[in-house]
Structure 1
Amino acid sequence: MIRHLVLFKLDEGVERDDPRAVAGAQAFRDLDKAVPGLEFWECAWNITDRPIAYDFAINSAVADADALKRYIEHPAHQAAAAMWREFATWVIADYEF
């Protein structure tokens, strides 16, 4: 199994209620229904307000490297990521467990 973690940081001046952020969060919430092969999927806004905290997180898992590639290349994922490029940056970690 591969764990796929993503942490998003909203750009300066962008708030969670910005329509782009609302739509981007919904696009990621809907990915588990759109992308086959996801073994585990959760995403949510961060509930803490610390200076080092990121704003939104995805915690997911896939069976193997091929499934991760299919997820990354899936049109629904590409569309959701494109939305977030408009108003945020992110970091990613993928590891086997």
Structure 2
Amino acid sequence: MIRHLVLFKLNEGVRRDDPRVVEGVRAFERLGDVIDELRFWECAWNITDRPIAYDFAINSAVDDTDALRHYLEHPAHQEGVALWREFATWVMADYEI
């Protein structure tokens, strides 16, 4: 199984209640119900306020590299990524569990 983690940082001046951000969050919240290859899916806002903290996180899991590729290429995922590109940057890691 592969864990896929993503941490998002909103761009300077962008707030959580920005309509673009609200739309982006909704797009990602739906992915767990849309992409069959996802074995585990959660996403949420960070609840702490520290200088090194990111703003939003995705924690997910898929069975293998083929499932990860399908998830990454899935149109619903790509639509969400396109939205987030407008107002955030991110880092990610994939590792075997």
* Identity within the alignment, %: 73
State whether structure 2 residue 91 is matched by structure 1 residue 72.
no
Aligned to 2:86: 86
* TM score, norm. by length of structure 1: 0.99
Matched residue SS, 1:30: helix
CA RMSD of aligned residues (A): 0.4
Separation of aligned partners in 1, 2:21 and 2:11: 10
Separation of aligned partners in 1, 2:63 and 2:12: 36
Separation of aligned partners in 1, 2:78 and 2:39: 19
Unaligned ranges ≥5, structure 1: none
Aligned to 1:49: 49
Unaligned ranges ≥5, structure 2: none
State whether structure 2 residue 26 is matched by structure 1 residue 21.
no
* TM score, norm. by length of structure 2: 0.99
Separation of aligned partners in 1, 2:45 and 2:85: 17
Aligned to 1:11: 11
Q: Deviation at 1:34? A: 1.1
Query: What is the number of equivalent residue pairs in this alignment?
Result: 97
Q: Deviation at 1:91? A: 0.2
